[in-house]
Structures are given as C-alpha cells and as structure tokens.
C-alpha cells in the first residue's frame, strides 16, 4: 500500500511578490514535497503585470512551468529546463490522485536540486535547473468543493505567499470567500501549520489587528522582508531569502540562502565583495 499523499497547500494572493511564490514552489518541489496550488483571481492580474504570464485554469501546467523558469529579475529561463526533472521533462514521479478542477495531477519531471541566478544573471555553480512539476495538484480558486476545503483532506499545512492585506483580513475574519481563504481557515481549525507571508507597506492599524488575530490563532506571520547579511549580489538572492524563511517556518529543508554563523562579514567574504 502506498503512503498517503500529504501535500503543502500553497496559496498565492493578489499582493505584489509573485517571485516569492515561485521561489517557494521551486524549493518545495526540489525537496520532494507534494504541492496543492491555489492561485487567487486577483493574483492572476499581479502575475500578468510582474511576469507577463497569463495564468489559465485550462493550461495551468504550461503556465506554471513558464512561471517557475522565470527569475526574479523578469528574465525568462533564469531557471532553465534540466535534462532530469526540469520543466518539460517527463522522468519524475507522478501524482497518485484523480482529476481536479482546472486540471489534473500528473508527472512532469522529478524533483532536482534547485539553483538561483548569480550576479551575472546565470546559474550559480552550486545550483541547478528548475525542478519539474512533480506531484502538483492545481485547484481553481472558485472551487469550494475542492479537497483543501475540508478538514478531512490530508495536508501538512499551508503557505500563503505572498499574502495581501485583503487576504489577511479574509482569513482573520473567517470569511472563506474563495478556496484560498477557506483552505487557510481549515488549516487553522485543524491545528496545522499556516505561514502567512504578508507583503504590504505601510500597514494600517486594522491590518495590524488582523495579523495579531492570526498570530493568536496559531498562524506564523512572516513579513516578506529580506535581510542583507547573507551577501546578496542579485535580486534573486533577496527573493530566495524570504522564500527560505517561509520554508524554515514550515520545517522544509532547503539551500536558498547563507545562514548566519556568528561571524561578521561572512556574507561579503563568501561573495568576494
């Protein structure tokens, strides 16, 4: 008997910061994690504006491949397809689930170690190609009968990256106006890990109250706030730092950024600055 599938649910709301979501998705797949993806209607406008990609329910797999291959600087194929498990290959593990709204699970390449572009826009020496889609299920945001809408649906937890203030308010108030908000409410009521990577500035008092409500309910509020001690030399490094902190909060191993080791100037030394 095969092990029960327990994915991470990744919700992408309409806040600016779609490169954060792409970095989290790449790293989850590189770690061999199963992913259930929910892309809100508002986030499609943001994705179109920030990347030029029109995310479509009927063609979500092709659009997701293109999105994950794009770097934070907007360059296509910053994470090029690999010969083993990159977008477009068909040699990875498939999904064990059935069809879902907006597309069905399947195999599009196995997880491989993900890389990141260096300061010259090319891959770092320690990196690699973007992972394939592996075990990804996509659920349309309007499908309130989807698996993640129920507490009996097995899941490890949920990562909302990026989280808009409207999304934060909806989850804090329990509105469940779409699948993203409903899945977040289910995650909280089931006592599972919910990471909310809020991406807005400045924050007004009402939003701060909503964030406190989420914290009181057990969510991890994680502002999309990059640090600079890791020796960033490229915009992708800043994006990867935030994505890495999201994965740290979820307990998923990764190699997205240089960790602090108690040594001043370590990041600058490692990057040759």
User: What is the SS3 string spanning 94-147?
Assistant: CCCCCCECCECCCCCCCCCCCCCECCCCCECCCCCCCCCCCCEEEEECCCCCCH
pLDDT exceeds cutoff 70 at 206: yes
Class of domain 8-271: alpha beta
- The backbone torsions φ and ψ at residue 34, rounded to the nearest 5 degrees and listed phi first, read -80, 145
Question: Which H/E stretch holds residue 160?
Answer: strand 157-163
The pTM assigned to this predicted structure is 0.83
In sequence order, the β-bridge partners of residue 209 are none
**What is the average per-residue pLDDT within 106-134?**
45
Looking at the chain, the whole-number percentage of residues with pLDDT higher than 90 is 73
- Of 120-124, 208-212, 222-226, 232-236, where does mean pLDDT reach its minimum? 120-124
pLDDT exceeds cutoff 50 at 22: yes
- Residue-level pLDDT at 126: 32
Secondary structure class of 204 (helix, strand, coil): coil
**Could you write out the DSSP letters of every residue in 7-36?**
PEEEEE-SSS-HHHHHHHHHHHHHTT--EE
Higher pLDDT, 203 or 80: 203
**What is the average per-residue pLDDT within 246-252?**
98
Contact 129, 85 (CB under 8 A): yes
Gap between the Cα atoms of 7 and 35, Å rounded: 5
Residue ranges per structural domain of the chain:
8-271
| CB atoms closer than 10 angstroms to residue 29 | 26
- Of 69-78, 126-135, 250-259, where does mean pLDDT reach its minimum? 126-135
């Amino acid at each position: 008997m095969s092990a029960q599938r327990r994915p991470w649910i990744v919700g992408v709301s309409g806040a600016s910061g779609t490169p954060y979501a792409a970095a989290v998705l790449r790293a989850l797949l590189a770690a061999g994690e199963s992913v259930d993806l929910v892309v809100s209607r508002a986030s499609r406008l943001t994705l179109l504006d920030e990347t030029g990609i029109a995310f479509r329910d009927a063609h979500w797999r092709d659009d997701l491949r293109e999105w994950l291959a794009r770097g934070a600087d907007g360059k296509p194929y910053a994470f090029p397809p690999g010969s083993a498990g990159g977008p477009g290959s068909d040699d990875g593990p498939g999904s064990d689930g059935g069809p879902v709204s907006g597309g069905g699970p399947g195999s599009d390449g196995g997880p491989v170690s993900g890389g990141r572009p260096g300061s010259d826009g090319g891959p770092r020496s320690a990196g690699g190609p973007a992972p394939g889609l592996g075990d990804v299920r996509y659920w349309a945001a309007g499908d309130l009968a989807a698996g993640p809408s129920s507490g009996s649906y097995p899941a490890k937890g949920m990562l909302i990256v990026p989280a808009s203030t409207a999304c934060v308010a909806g989850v804090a108030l329990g509105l469940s106006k779409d699948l993203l908000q409903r899945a977040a409410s289910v995650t909280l009521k089931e006592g599972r890990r919910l990471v909310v990577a809020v991406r807005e500035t400045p924050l007004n008092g009402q939003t701060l109250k909503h964030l406190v409500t989420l914290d009181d309910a057990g969510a991890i509020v994680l502002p999309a706030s990059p640090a600079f001690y890791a020796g960033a030399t490229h915009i992708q490094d800043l994006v990867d730092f935030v994505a890495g902190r999201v994965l740290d909060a979820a307990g998923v191993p990764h190699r997205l950024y240089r960790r602090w080791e108690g040594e001043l100037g370590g990041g600058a030394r490692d990057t040759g600055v």
